[in-house]
Structures are given as C-alpha cells and as structure tokens.
C-alpha cells in the first residue's frame, strides 16, 4: 500500500462512521420543531444564535426637590434624623475641596453625607413639638423659684436617659445607666466618719464642687440600677459611721494629719504654764500655728508663723525688721 | 557725724576712684566702735565691731569661732564680728526676758555658711557682758562625729563616755566662766561618788567638780553631766543666771554617730553620757536661764543633709523636746551687709578695689557669707 492510501485509510475511512453520527444527531429537525415539544439542541448552530438582551437604562426620576412647593411643611419632608440626601434638600449646597474650580455640589457628595445634620430640628419643628408636649406638662412649682431652693428641697439629682428610635428593639443599652449626684455637705458627719466616707467614695467625690457622683450600670434595667444606687448611698453613709475594733489601735504615728490636742506640744504648753490649755489666752493661735506648720510642712512661711506665735505665747517682743 | 557729712559732700563731686579712697579712710559706715553687744541696736546693723583681745581669749580660746573664720581673724590681726539681724533679734528678746519664768529656747537655723555660729558667738559675747554663766558647746559634731576617744561608761552601765572631749570642754567651760566661778555661792547640791576613794562632797564649790573632771579624765563625761545638773539646780535657786549656747544642737538627735562601744557597735546619741546633761539644760522646766541653740546640717552625715530647716534636722523627738521654741532665721547677706563686708575687706587690704567688683562677687557667692569669704581668701 502506498503512503497516500494508508493516510487516507487512517484519517478518513476509519473516522467516517463517528463523524457521520455526530453530524446527524445535531442536525436541526425542522419538521419535529413544529410539533408539541421543542427540541433540545445540544450543539449550537448559527440558525439559533443567542441574541443578547439590550440593556435599558432605568429611568431616573428628577430630584424631588424640583417639585417641592415653596410653602411646604419642612417637618413632614424631613421628620427625623437622617443622612443628607441631595434630592430631598432643596438647597444649592456645596461642600468639599478640589484643587481647581468651585467645591463639589450636593449630588454624590460624600462630604455632605459624612457630617451630622440638624435638618430635622429646625426652629418651627421644635416649636411644634414643644407645643405638642405642653399638654403633658404641669406648671413649675412656685416654691422652687431658684436653684438654691431646688437644691435645698431636692438634694438628690438622678440622671438617666431614655432613647427612642426606629429599630427592631425598643431597648437601648444606654438607658440602663443611672447617675446620682448630691452634695456631701447635705449628709451629716463628724470628722472621723467624713474622713472614712471620703476614703470609701474615693474619686467619686469632687473636692472643688463638693459633689459626690455615683454612676450605676451593672444591672440590666434602669430601675434596678436606680435601686442599686440608692442602696449604695445608704450603705456608704452607714458604713462610714461604723467603728471597727481595729480602728481603736490607731496611734499618733498613723494619723494622716497633725492634731494638736493629741500631741506632745499641748502637754508641753500646759506644763510650761502650769494650767490647762483652754485657760491660756494665746494657746489658740499657737495651736493653729503648730497645726499649720505640721500639716503643711516646713517652709520659711510656716516656720516664721510658728516663731511669731511662740513669741506671742511667751510674751517676747516681735521680730523687728531692721533692714 | 561731721565726717560723714563731709564725705557725702565730697562724694557728690569727686571722681569714683578718689571717692573710694575717701570711703576707705572714713570707716564709720561699716564699723562701729561700740564693742559691748548690749549696746548694739538696729542702727549698728551690718556694722563690724571688734571683740577685745582679752574677751576673745576668754570666750573663744577653745573654740566657738569656726576654723575658717578664725584663720581670717588671724590674718586681719583683729577679731571682728558683723552685727547682724538674728543676733540683734535674740539679744533684744533676752533683754525683755522675765528670768523667773521658764526658759526660752531660741533656735538659729539657716543654710550652710550663712553665719549661724558667728551669730551665736555674738550672743555668747552678750552673755559674758551681762554676767551670765555660759554653758557653751562650740560644736556638737565634734563629739558625735569626730570624737577623740570613746569607752564604755563605768558609772552609767550601757552608756558610752567621750572623756577626752568632755575634759576639753570642761577646760573650755572653766576658761569661759572665769568671771562667774569666783562666786562662792556656787556649791554643789549632792554627793558625787566616783570610786571607792574618790568623792566630791555636797557643799563643795562647783569648781571642784570641774577640776576633778579635768584631772581625772576617766570621769570627765560624768562630770559634765553632773555639772549640767548642778547648774540647773543653782539657776533654779537663783544663785546664777545661765546662758546655754549650743552649736549644732541637732547632733544630739541625729541617730547616726561615729561613737562606738567596745564591741564596735554604733551608739545613738542618747546613749552618749554627755547628751543627757545637755538635753536636761535645754528643757523648759527651770528658770533664770536662756537657751540659744543652732541647728546645722553639717552636724549630720553628708547623705542626710537635705534641708536646713529645724524640724527636719531635729526630727520628731528633737522638735517635741524643744517645742515651743523661737526659730530665728540666719539668711544670706543683704545688700547693705554685703557692701559692708566688702568695705571691711578693702579696708583690711584683703581685696584690691576694682570697678564692678561688688556686683560680681555678689553673684559669684550668692551673697553667702562663707562663700564670699572663700572667694576673697588667698589660694
């Protein structure tokens, strides 16, 4: 066999039945297509080529602000807090910075959306809301005409917040927090219990304003936190009046400040004059000078004060400034 | 007075260098001829007065004037002290003291080198002049930190004696009080048994007690203690007027000393025999006396020299021991005092006059008297 016949035999004659089968099975059967069932064509042909659906741009409505009447009720258009929307706000706003040209206008302007707005709190809206709330209010008591009277009759200030917003839950975790404020001077203390109370409340006491502030947030509801705060106030007060057995062991060295009556200084002066310190006319100012000297620490000023008071106590001439 | 006026008239017209000369020749401004401290008043403030040589020998032959100042007085061939506010203040107070009342304690305090010891020397001079019996300790630090010798006490078991220093002090006391000790009233009120054979009888003159301490150095510390007690008793009886003057008093309360037992354990000052005596005479429970003390950071160890204030130096115990006392501050030179000091140095030919000298030295020394003395001294 020549080379040509061998190649022909291999490529054409042997493949022939396969090709023929493929061809026939994919051939569109026009007659069958007309019948009740459509034919599934596994192999596409030009005759049934897929036509791409043409994209139609959705129709964009013109901005709503174009249709707004000038005398509309703005409170109805923008009833609650909301991110800025350019089509709703009928104002020619511009915000942001570009290197050349004017700042970008309100459409697709992220700068305007980022900042919080108060478009829901325009003065007429506030007025309307106040008017609506007014029927729920009672007149302010005349007896509480000023702040001093308020503080006198209502020494406790309870601060808590309620939140109202549209979300699946009506609970806000922040609403549970209760803050209680009162003046320390409204509670009755002696020196020891006051000291103990201050140690117990720690930094909850502000020495500049004189207020104690207790914040409770450990319970899940506001009511529970309020009760807990009240419990704390009561417990702290009574605890500060308690005297433990070990407190009696406190010696002079443990004192946080110098108390003249408990110290050697008083004994010395009494011995020096041979009478009680109450009977010594100048002992009061001397005691004050010693207390200042001891409590404020040694400085030229406190020492000079001490010296002057000793001179008065002992009846010596005052220091004269010669120069 | 005339001279002063003429100087001022001259000063207005003459150039600076000649004016300086005039000031040098007229020494009224920075010197006073008044050498009796009881006559010193605020008008003498910042002026130098000369201590007569015999008084100087009596008072300060065995200490009392700080070493560096002593050297300077030798160079100047005269002992001059500046009349300063603290000592004037104390002298003024002492003049008005009612001696029948309990003892007043004055405490001089101030920074290092501000002149506490010299203020004390001035007051001691006043004490001598007014006939006080002077119980003067020139420097407590000498005993507590630089004592010559220490030994366990025989008479007071558990205590430590510093006998050599005590004997030295007895000599000092004896010389200082030569004017009072001739008084026959000063007799001791109790028997002192030193050993089997040695005894000082009740009714003997106080000088015998002192002599015993000097000759039998072994008992010097106990003699000092006895002497303090006897002086206290005598003052109470009104036999003498006493001035207690102690320099570096805080040394009696500073816990670290360089006094050791025979086992080389450090002894707190309260266990040193002489301390008890001097603590006893600085209490207020007696009269006919006055105490003038100084507190000085140099009396404590270097690491504890943090403040010059009396309460820090005395500690709680010392403060309570002295309370109520009168603190008297010794400050740096004022402008007037500084000028006066420089005038004195120029008059002594100690510094060469130069323009702008005073301001420069004032800045360099911070007006601290000791620093000024050091800057102006030779190399």
CATH match for A145-249 among 3.60.120.10, 3.40.228.10, 3.30.160.20, 3.40.50.1970: 3.30.160.20
Question: Do residues A318 and A308 make contact, with C-beta atoms less than 8 angstroms apart?
Answer: yes
Closest CA to A78 of A111, A122, A139, A13: A122
- Residue-level pLDDT at A119: 95
Question: Looking at CA atoms only, how far is residue B93 from chain A in angstroms?
Answer: 6
B334 closest CB neighbour out of A269, A271, A323? A323
Q: How far apart are CA A232 and CA A158, in angstroms?
A: 14
A319·B307 Cβ contact <8 A: no
> What is the per-residue DSSP string for B288-335?
SEEEEEE--GGGS-GGG-----HHHHHHHHHHHHH-S-EEEE--PPPH
Number of Cβ atoms within 10 Å of the Cβ of B276:
19
Q: How far apart are CA B123 and CA B117, in angstroms?
A: 10
Nearest residue on chain B to A287, judged by CA atoms?
Answer: B324
- Residue-level pLDDT at A250: 84
Question: Looking at CA atoms only, how far is residue A264 from chain B in angstroms?
Answer: 6
Say which residues have a Cβ less than 8 Å from residue B373's Cβ, sequence separation at least 6: B68, B69, B72
Confidence band, pLDDT 50/70/90 cuts, at residue A24: very low
What's the token pair of residue A218?
């450990």
Nearest residue on chain A to B41, judged by CA atoms?
Answer: A322
Q: Which residues of A touch B329 (CB under 8 A)?
A: 300, 303-304
B320·A314 Cβ contact <8 A: no
Q: How far apart are CA B256 and CA B110, in angstroms?
A: 22
By three-state DSSP, how is residue B108 classified?
strand
> What is the per-residue DSSP string for A155-212?
--EEEE------SS-S--GGGG-EEEEEEGGGS---HHHHHHHHHHHGGGEETTTTEE
Phi and psi angles of residue A210, each rounded to the nearest 5 degrees, phi first:
80, 15
Residue % of chain A over a pLDDT of 90? 60
Q: Which burial class, exposed, middle or buried, applies to A218 when counting CB atoms under 10 A from its CB (0-12, 13-18, 19+)?
A: exposed
Whether cis (ω within 30° of 0) applies to the bond prior to B324 is yes
Nearest residue on chain A to B84, judged by CA atoms?
Answer: A322
**Of the ranges A16-20, A42-46, B23-27, B243-247, which one carries the lowest mean pLDDT score?**
B23-27
In SS3 terms, B165-227 reads as HHHHHHHHHHHHCHHHHCCCCCECCCCEECCCCCEECCCCEHHHHHHHHHHCHHHHHHHHHHH
Question: Do residues A285 and A314 make contact, with C-beta atoms less than 8 angstroms apart?
Answer: no
Phi and psi angles of residue A160, each rounded to the nearest 5 degrees, phi first:
-145, 160
Nearest residue on chain B to A311, judged by CA atoms?
Answer: B326
- Residue-level pLDDT at B226: 94
> Residue range A93-120: average pLDDT?
93
Query: What residue spans define the domains of chain A?
Result: 2-34, 85-137, 145-249, 257-314
Confidence band, pLDDT 50/70/90 cuts, at residue A52: confident
Q: Which residues of B touch A298 (CB under 8 A)?
A: 307, 309-312
- Residue-level pLDDT at A9: 64
Phi and psi angles of residue A130, each rounded to the nearest 5 degrees, phi first:
-60, -45
Q: How far apart are CA A309 and CA A287, in angstroms?
A: 9
Is it the case that residue A93 has pLDDT exceeding 70? yes
- Residue-level pLDDT at A321: 58
pLDDT digits (tens, 9 = 90+) for B40-66: 998 999 999 999 999 999 999 999 999
B92 closest CB neighbour out of A298, A315, A317? A317
B88 closest CB neighbour out of A298, A311, A322? A322
Sign (positive or negative) of CA dihedral B119, B124, B129, B131: positive
Closest CA to B135 of B286, B247, B300, B218: B247
- Residue-level pLDDT at A51: 75
Mean pLDDT across chain A: 86
Q: Which residues of B touch A301 (CB under 8 A)?
A: none
A323 closest CB neighbour out of B85, B307, B312? B85
**Residue B104 DSSP class:** E
With a cut of 50, which residues of chain B have pLDDT below it? 1-16, 18-27
Say which residues have a Cβ less than 8 Å from residue A217's Cβ, sequence separation at least 6: A176, A177, A178, A225
Q: Which residues of B touch A293 (CB under 8 A)?
A: 311
Q: How far apart are CA B262 and CA A129, in angstroms?
A: 96
Closest CA to B371 of B82, B64, B114, B70: B114
Residue ranges of E strands in chain A? 157-160, 178-183, 205-206, 211-216
Angle (deg, nearest 10), helices B357-365 and B369-376: 120
| Buried b or exposed e, range B114-151, using 16+ CB within 10 angstroms | bbbbbbbbbbbbbbbbeebbbbbbbbbbbbbbebeebe
- Residue-level pLDDT at B25: 47
Angle, alpha carbons B303-B307-B310 (nearest 5°): 120
What's the token pair of residue B69?
């100042």
Question: Looking at CA atoms only, how far is residue B9 from chain A in angstroms?
Answer: 25
Q: Which residues of B touch A272 (CB under 8 A)?
A: 102, 284, 324
**Of the ranges A6-10, A149-153, B155-159, B219-223, which one carries the lowest mean pLDDT score?**
A6-10
What's the token pair of residue B155?
């008479």
Question: Do residues B376 and B346 make contact, with C-beta atoms less than 8 angstroms apart?
Answer: no
pLDDT digits (tens, 9 = 90+) for A238-293: 999 999 999 888 888 888 888 888 888 899 999 888 888 888 888 889 999 999 99
Length of chain B: 379
**Residue B272 DSSP class:** B
ipTM of the complex: 0.86
Q: How far apart are CA B167 and CA B146, in angstroms?
A: 15
Q: How far apart are CA A162 and CA B216, in angstroms?
A: 95
Helix (H) or strand (E) holding A126: helix A123-134
B93 closest CB neighbour out of A263, A317, A323? A317
In this structure, what is the dihedral angle of CA atoms B62, B65, B71, B75, given to the nearest 10 degrees? -110
- Residue-level pLDDT at B13: 46
| Buried b or exposed e, range B68-77, using 16+ CB within 10 angstroms | ebeebbeebe
Interface mutation vs chain B, best among A307, A311, A321, most B CBs within 10 Å: A307
pLDDT digits (tens, 9 = 90+) for A165-189: 777 888 889 999 999 999 999 999 9
Closest CA to B86 of B118, B55, B59, B113: B118
Question: Looking at CA atoms only, how far is residue A272 from chain B in angstroms?
Answer: 7
- Residue-level pLDDT at A82: 92
């Amino acid at each position: 066999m020549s080379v040509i016949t061998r190649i022909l035999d291999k490529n054409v004659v042997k493949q022939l039945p396969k090709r023929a089968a493929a061809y026939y099975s994919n051939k569109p059967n026009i007659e069958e297509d007309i019948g009740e069932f459509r034919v599934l064509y596994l192999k596409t042909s030009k005759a049934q080529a897929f036509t791409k659906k043409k994209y139609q741009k959705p129709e964009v409505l013109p901005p709503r602000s174009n249709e707004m009447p000038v005398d509309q009720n703005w409170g109805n258009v923008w009833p609650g807090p909301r991110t800025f929307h350019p089509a709703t706000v009928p104002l020619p706003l511009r915000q942001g910075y570009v290197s050349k040209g004017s700042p970008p206008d309100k459409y697709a302007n992220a700068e305007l959306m980022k900042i919080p707005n108060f478009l829901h709190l325009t003065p007429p809206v506030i007025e309307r809301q106040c008017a609506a709330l007014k029927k729920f209010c009672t007149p302010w008591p005349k007896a509480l005409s000023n702040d001093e009277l308020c503080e006198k009759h209502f020494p406790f200030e309870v601060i808590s917040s309620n939140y109202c917003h549209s979300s699946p839950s009506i609970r806000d975790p922040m609403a549970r927090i209760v803050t209680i404020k009162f003046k320390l001077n409204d509670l009755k203390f002696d020196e020891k219990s006051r000291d103990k109370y201050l140690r117990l409340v720690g930094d909850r006491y502000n020495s500049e304003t004189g207020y104690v502030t207790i914040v409770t947030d450990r319970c899940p509801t506001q009511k529970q936190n309020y009760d807990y705060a009240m419990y704390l106030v009561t417990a702290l007060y009574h605890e500060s009046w308690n005297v433990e057995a070990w407190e009696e062991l406190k010696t002079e060295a443990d004192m946080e400040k110098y108390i003249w009556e408990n110290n050697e200084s008083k004994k010395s002066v009494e011995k020096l004059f041979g009478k009680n310190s109450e009977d010594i006319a100048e002992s009061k100012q001397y005691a004050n000078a010693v207390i200042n000297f001891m409590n404020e620490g040694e400085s030229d000023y406190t020492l000079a004060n001490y010296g002057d008071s000793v001179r008065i106590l002992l009846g010596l001439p005052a220091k004269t400034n010669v120069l | 007075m005339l001279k002063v006026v003429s100087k001022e008239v001259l000063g207005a017209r003459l150039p600076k260098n000649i004016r300086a000369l005039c000031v040098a020749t007229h020494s009224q401004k920075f010197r006073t001829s008044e050498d009796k401290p009881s006559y010193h008043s605020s008008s003498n403030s910042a002026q130098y007065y000369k201590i007569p040589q015999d008084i100087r020998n009596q008072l300060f032959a065995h200490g009392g004037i700080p070493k560096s100042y002593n050297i300077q007085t030798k160079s100047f061939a005269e002992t001059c002290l500046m009349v300063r506010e603290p000592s004037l203040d104390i002298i003024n107070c002492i003049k008005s003291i009612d001696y029948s009342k309990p003892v007043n304690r004055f405490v001089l305090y101030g920074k290092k080198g501000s002149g506490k010891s010299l203020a004390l020397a001035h007051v001691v001079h006043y004490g001598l002049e007014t006939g006080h019996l002077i119980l003067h300790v020139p420097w407590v630090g000498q005993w507590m930190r630089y004592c010559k010798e220490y030994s366990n006490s025989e008479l007071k078991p558990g205590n430590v004696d510093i006998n050599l220093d005590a004997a030295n002090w007895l000599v000092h006391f004896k010389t200082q009080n030569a004017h009072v000790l001739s008084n026959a009233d000063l007799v001791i009120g109790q028997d002192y048994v030193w050993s089997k054979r040695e005894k000082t009888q009740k009714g003997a003159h106080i000088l015998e007690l002192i002599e015993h301490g000097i000759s039998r150095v072994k008992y010097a510390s106990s003699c000092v203690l006895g002497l303090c007690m006897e002086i206290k008793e005598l003052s109470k009886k009104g036999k003498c007027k006493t001035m207690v003057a102690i320099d570096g008093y805080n040394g009696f309360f500073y816990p670290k000393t360089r006094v050791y037992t025979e086992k080389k354990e450090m002894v707190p000052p309260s266990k040193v025999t002489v301390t008890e005596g001097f603590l006893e005479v600085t209490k207020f429970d007696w009269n006919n006396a006055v105490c003038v003390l100084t507190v000085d950071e140099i009396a404590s160890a270097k690491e504890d020299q943090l403040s010059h204030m009396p309460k820090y130096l005395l500690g709680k115990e010392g403060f309570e021991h002295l309370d109520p006392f009168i603190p008297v501050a010794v400050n740096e030179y004022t402008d007037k005092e500084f000028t006066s000091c420089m005038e004195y140095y120029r008059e002594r030919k100690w510094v060469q006059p130069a323009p702008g000298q005073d301001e420069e030295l004032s800045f360099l020394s911070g007006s601290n008297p000791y620093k000024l003395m050091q800057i102006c001294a030779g190399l």
